[in-house]
Amino acid sequence: PEELLLRLDSPAPGIAHLFAMPMGGQVLLSIRFFLYGPTAAFVVETVEPQWQAWIAQHFPMTMPPDGNC
């Protein structure tokens, strides 16, 4: 799998770990954020809904017509 590790300064100190892996004729993209420091919990509480909305808008989950995964 291909990976990318980014050091973050904003919205809080931390790292972002992204990796892509082929799966069933598609590509699975995993995105993980690790935030550190005294403001990390507050930042996560504040911006996580925004990240999830952005991801849902740009990468909507699709189900097969029969509804089985």
Which pLDDT value is given to residue 1?
57
Which pLDDT value is given to residue 13?
96
Please report which confidence band the pLDDT of residue 69 belongs to, taking 50, 70 and 90 as the band edges. low
- Residue-wise pLDDT for 23-49, tens only, equals 888 888 888 999 999 999 999 999 999
Which pLDDT value is given to residue 67?
66
What secondary structure does DSSP assign to 6-36, as a single string?
Answer: EEE-SSSSEEEEEEEEEETTEEEEEEEEEE-
What is the β-pairing status of strands 2-8 and 26-35? unpaired
Q: Minimal CA–CA distance to 13: which of 31, 32, 34, 29?
A: 34
- Residue-wise pLDDT for 5-30, tens only, equals 999 999 999 999 999 998 888 888 88
Which pLDDT value is given to residue 36?
95
Distance CA 41, CA 49 (A): 13
